[in-house]
A and B are shown apart, each in its own frame.
Chain A
Amino acid sequence: GAGVSQTPSNKVTEKGKYVELRCDPISGHTALYWYRQSLGQGPEFLIYFQGTGAADDSGLPNDRFFAVRPEGSVSTLKIQRTERGDSAVYLCASSTGYGSTEAFFGQGTRLTVV
């Protein structure tokens, strides 16, 4: 596609529920990133994929968070047993993945846990 697409744009869920957030990167981009941004903060790194594999998942806060990218394109961020502290904007970005290239962001998914 022309840009990074994220769905849904907004998600409200109850504490304890499971949620999935989807990211469709720019066509041809092999690198895909998930970030989380809280109000007044910069994006916080969660996980990076190169192709289908998670090359760096050091930013995932705990084992309730998991992400997949089975075919090397679309990625899903999965959050189990959501907590109110998980409320944030979840941003996905993609890049060509080679060298020091720039990353392009999607519009984000605003997750609210009530």
Chain B
Amino acid sequence: QKEVEQNSGPLSVPEGAIASLNCTYSDRGSQSFFWYRQYSGKSPELIMFIYSNGDKEDGRFTAQLNKASQYVSLLIRDSQPSDSATYLCAVKTSGTYKYIFGTGTRLKVLA
């Protein structure tokens, strides 16, 4: 089992819709969770991080964390074509400084 799992996609949503991206992780000791956006040929760019169970909102983005079920999700409201990218989930476990990444989910927002 991979440490961090994401559906590779592509996930296609129409412009203006809500895009929902999911990530599961295997290590119950994981403490910090990060969502990065990566455009084709570019490096990952941090969108959000979340440490506590529940929701965290930042503009059109909402991160949701459920430690009991070991999943973290990212919702993108009012999706725009410019949101089309690969979204990487990263997890950091207590006691280490290593960020473990999933393979990413490719999102396509259709105009």
Contact = CB atoms under 8 A, between A and B. Distances in A.
Interface of A: 31, 33, 35, 40-45, 48, 50, 55-56, 58-59, 91, 93, 95, 97, 100, 102-108
Interface string B26-69: 00000110101000001111100101000000000000000000
Given A40-B103, A91-B43, A100-B32, A45 B98 contact: yes
Kindly state the interface size class of chain B when it binds its partner. Answer: 20 to 34
Nearest to B96: A56
Contacts of B96: 56
Interface of B: 4, 6, 8, 31-32, 34, 36, 42-46, 49, 51, 88, 92, 96-104
A107 B42 contact: yes
B98 A43 contact: no
Given A42-B88, A43-B88, A103 B99 contact: yes
Contacts of B6: 42
A11 to B, nearest CB: 16
A83 B23 CA distance: 33
A50 B97 CA distance: 9
Nearest to A106: B43
A44 B101 CA distance: 7
Contacts of A43: 44, 88, 99, 101
A102 B97 contact: no
A105 B100 CA distance: 14
A42 B103 contact: yes
Contacts of B45: 105
Contact of B43 (A41, A48, A107): A107
